[in-house]
Amino acid sequence: MNKLEHKVEFDHILAHYELSKQAKELLDRLRLVLLAGPTASGRNTIIDQLIKKGNYKYIVSDTTRAPRINNGIPEKNGVNYFFKSEEEFLFDLKKGEFLEAEIIHERQVSGISIRELATAEKSGKIAITEVEIGGFANILSRKADTIGILILPPSFEVWIERINARSEMEKEEVLSRLNTGVRIFKEALRDKHISIVINDYLEKAVAEVDAIVNSRSMPDSTIGLALVKQLLNETEAYLGEMS
């Protein structure tokens, strides 16, 4: 996977990013749910199950990375992501047409376009998508009633198994994703506005997410925070052994 050609320009724009006036007005009318989590935590699988309930609308994010093959299935433009060139992404970013955007793994930029949120608002459904946890704080600052939920694997061992079961990745990319996991776990320990759901059994995790959205309240996070600390410690130890 190639590194970003326009990283300096992305860094500058994101550091001074402002939403367009139309985007701000849209956000006032929209119900928005964001699922964060490390690679292979099961965010997308949970979202797929919620979409089947009929009252959720999936927000397809834009990304500058190329399509991948996951579990033998090629990603599709407009289904998994809208795959954009860096130049296309920058054009809309400069106009304030993203709710948020973030550089991921230092190799790609992904973000939630206002175009997709407008589609959800017209449908009358709850907008839901996955987001990097670093982007959640930015979104919350722009839309205070956003519901943020962190999805976690039940253990470090299960997490590694899930990562290895995905598309083939070079060692460098696996390590990059684990390092991103460390950042996610550290951010989760600081963020008091995000609920935690442990994805041990899919049906149970889906029900918990749906309950959080519909009650609009945060459940007790004691067990979840303990798992975050455990995952952080074991991931850092693993990375230390790999270095």
Q: pLDDT digit string (tens) for 60-79?
A: 999 999 998 877 889 999 99
For residue 60 the two structure tokens come to 């397809």
* Cβ-proximal residues to 25 (8 Å cutoff; 6+ apart), any chain: none
Question: Please, which pLDDT band fits residue 243 given cuts at 50, 70 and 90?
Answer: confident
Could you tell me if residue 1 is inside a domain? no
Could you tell me if residue 192 is inside a domain? yes
| Structural domain for 85, as ranges | 7-242
Could you tell me if residue 169 is inside a domain? yes
Q: Which residue in 62, 12, 55 sits closest to 33, CA to CA? A: 55
> For the chain, what is the largest distance between any 2 Cα atoms, rounded to a whole number of angstroms?
50
**pTM for the full model?**
0.84
Per residue in 25-66, pLDDT (tens digit) is: 999 999 999 999 999 999 999 999 999 999 999 999 999 999
Q: Which residue in 73, 70, 40, 83 sits closest to 174, CA to CA? A: 40
The tally of domains found in the chain comes to 1
Which CATH number covers residue 63? 3.40.50.300
Could you tell me if residue 2 is inside a domain? no
Q: Residue range 191-199: average pLDDT? A: 91
